[in-house]
Amino acid sequence: MDALSKRASTREFSAEEIDDQVLSNLLWAAWGFNREDKRTAPSSMNKQEVELYVVKKSGAYLWDAKKNILKQISKLDLRPFTYSQAYVAPAPINIVFVGNQNSGVNCGYISQNIYLYCASEGLGTVARGSYDGKALSKALNLTETQIPVLAQTVGKMKNSVK
């Protein structure tokens, strides 16, 4: 109930980095495996077609949910490709939900898990659809069938930094 009451969209982020364990916990809460072949968020017809890309200053990573590890796909700071709103710029993490044209509902479930996790940990987050999809696809080296469906920014809230 506490996480639900605190769930909100944030538009003022600190540039302070997020601890690796917190990021790992966030990704597991969002779309991890909580049973052998089932995840923490539902997936229509259990297709599990959504992949999470984590874009940080240190590079871009594809999250391997089975192993709970990030696989670096770029050493470049691709964060500017993940947004068109200036308020996102300071945030240390942008998560890009990659799927197909039918992935919108499943991305919504995953995004809500991120909102609830962030609320429980005192982190800020906002889901966004404003980015240049073609440029982002090229930057992440996606195939023609992979579509960036949603981006979600995560960071410490500017007014909560000590």
CATH number for the domain spanning 116: value is 3.40.109.10
Nearest-Å Rg of the Cα atoms of the chain is 15
Least confident window among 71-75, 152-156, 158-162? 158-162
- Residues 39, 65 contacting (CB under 8 angstroms): yes
Q: How many structural domains compose the chain?
A: 1
Dihedral sign computed on CA atoms, order 125, 15, 54, 19: negative
| Full domain range(s) for residue 151 | 2-160
71 three-state secondary structure: strand
Q: What is the pTM of this model?
A: 0.95
Question: Distance (Å, rounded) from C-alpha 159 to C-alpha 135?
Answer: 32
Question: pLDDT tens for residues 1-58?
Answer: 999 999 999 999 999 999 999 999 999 999 999 999 999 999 999 999 999 999 999 9
Please tell me the predicted confidence (pLDDT) of residue 101.
Answer: 87
Give the amino acid at 69: I
| Per-residue pLDDT tens digits for 88-128 | 999 999 999 999 989 999 999 999 999 999 999 999 999 99
